[in-house]
């Protein structure tokens, strides 16, 4: 602790990202990156944007990007907010829609994206975690209770399980009369979950958050979106413009807009990821693993013959990085991103050798 930190900084427990190694070459299955390259149209768009215009500030309204997103998702540009990655969008959303203890706690699962409690602490927001069921499912009835709001990833991370649109709708309808916002984090929805975007106009308390890091192969670009009614988008804009009105740079706006305009390319590579996910899930099950059904670009698995921490180390020794969370209930599980075919073959081979 530094004597220069204020009380807000002192009480924070910052999010710890997955390892990004520099010392050696790994098969990197720990941060849910897409194993396939971005669309060629993205590279072309970034090249065109990397010119004399870089001396000028980017469009603070992100007009081209928001229009591309509106066409892609079938909404109006006024219903789209663009940010510097979905993490920034989520941070703005916590600040815009949730409050302290007097408003009631924000609800999210006990096993979920570990940035949510960090955002809550940053903004001094009261929250309550809801335990997942024994099979790591979300019981929607647990969220139909007075609260300051709800945040749910669909599919959930790190478990990969998804809710149906009907189940999420029941939460929206419960909280709508109280004007409480329900945020559905759809970072992995393209890999098998049912998006709530088509219900945007029906439910004014619905905000869906999207990232181009996973399904669009743009983790290195940092571009994210939120889709909701214009009042919600206006709240996000007020928070953004109180921090930095030029948050998304020219290159990111150009590349992200091009990605959103090339759905055919990304639909194809993501179908390949889904097929690989099913193949690897079956292969690990044959080795005796418990594999949680996944609708994401990762799987959550446990070996009955070796603890999660030990298996994590043994795989790392073989040059394969996966994610281990040393937390209650999931300490024996590993989250494994779906990589290329060759990478997943190497994973299956290594797991077989380790467990002999």
pLDDT single digits (tens) 104-152: 999 999 999 999 999 999 999 999 999 999 999 999 999 999 999 999 9
pLDDT at 100: 85
d(CA 64, CA 298): 31
The residue range of the domain holding 282 is 7-37+264-354
163 with 305, same domain: the answer is: no
d(CA 50, CA 70): 25
Domain boundary among 222, 241, 262: 262
Please indicate, yes or no, if residue 2 is contained in any of the structural domains: no
69 with 170, same domain: the answer is: yes
27 with 45, same domain: the answer is: no
53 with 29, same domain: the answer is: no
pLDDT at 14: 87
Q: Supply 174's token pair.
A: 């419960």
SS3 of residue 96 by DSSP:
helix
Whether 33 has a pLDDT exceeding 90, the answer reads yes
144 with 278, same domain: the answer is: no
Q: How far is CA 107 from the centre of its chain?
A: 17
29 with 44, same domain: the answer is: no
Domain boundary among 262, 285, 304: 262
Residue 13 pLDDT level (bands cut at 50, 70, 90): confident
230 with 269, same domain: the answer is: no
80 with 97, same domain: the answer is: yes
69 with 203, same domain: the answer is: yes
70 with 33, same domain: the answer is: no
Count up the domains in the chain and report the number: 2
Nearest of 285, 205, 215 to residue 256 by alpha carbon: 215
d(CA 305, CA 332): 10
Q: Supply 48's token pair.
A: 């065109």
Whether 103 has a pLDDT exceeding 90, the answer reads no
b/e code 154-169 from CB counts within 10 Å (16+ = b): bbbbbbbbbbebebbb
Q: What CATH number has the domain bearing residue 17?
A: 3.90.1150.10
Whether 83 has a pLDDT exceeding 90, the answer reads yes
| Residue 155 preceded by cis peptide, ω within 30 | yes
Q: Supply 32's token pair.
A: 């849910």
Whether 24 has a pLDDT exceeding 70, the answer reads no
pTM for this entry: 0.96
247 with 269, same domain: the answer is: no
């Amino acid at each position: 602790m530094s004597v220069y930190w204020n009380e807000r900084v002192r009480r924070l427990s910052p999010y710890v990202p997955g390892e990004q190694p520099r010392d050696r070459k790994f098969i990197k299955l720990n941060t849910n990156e897409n194993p396939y390259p971005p669309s060629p149209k993205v590279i072309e768009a970034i090249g065109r944007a990397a010119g004399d215009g870089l001396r000028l500030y980017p469009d603070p309204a992100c007009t081209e990007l928001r229009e591309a997103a509106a066409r892609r998702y079938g909404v109006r540009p006024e219903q789209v907010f663009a940010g510097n990655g979905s993490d920034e969008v989520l941070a703005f959303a916590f600040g815009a829609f949730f409050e302290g203890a007097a408003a009631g706690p924000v609800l999210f699962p006990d096993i979920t994206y570990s940035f949510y409690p960090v955002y809550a602490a940053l903004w001094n927001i009261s929250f309550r975690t809801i335990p997942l069921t024994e099979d790591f499912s979300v019981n929607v009835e647990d969220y139909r209770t007075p609260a300051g709001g709800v945040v749910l990833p669909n599919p959930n991370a790190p478990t990969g399980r998804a809710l149906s649109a009907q189940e999420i709708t029941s939460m929206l309808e419960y909280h709508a009369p109280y004007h409480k916002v329900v945020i559905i984090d759809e970072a992995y929805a393209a890999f098998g979950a049912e998006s709530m975007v088509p219900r945007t106009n029906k439910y004014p308390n619905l905000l869906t958050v999207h990232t181009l890091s996973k399904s669009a192969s743009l983790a290195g670009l940092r571009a994210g979106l939120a889709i909701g009614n214009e009042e919600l988008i206006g709240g996000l804009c007020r928070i953004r413009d109180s921090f930095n009105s030029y948050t998304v740079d020219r290159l990111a706006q150009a590349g992200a807009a091009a990605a959103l305009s090339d759905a055919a390319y990304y639909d194809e590579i993501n179908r390949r990821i889904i097929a690989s996910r099913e193949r690897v899930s079956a292969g690990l099950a044959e080795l005796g693993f418990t594999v949680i059904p996944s609708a994401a670009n990762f799987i959550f698995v446990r070996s009955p013959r070796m603890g999660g921490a030990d298996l994590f180390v043994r795989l790392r020794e073989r040059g394969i990085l996966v994610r281990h969370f040393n937390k209650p209930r999931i300490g024996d599980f590993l989250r494994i991103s779906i990589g290329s075919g060759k990478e997943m073959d190497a994973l299956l081979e290594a797991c077989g050798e380790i467990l002999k």
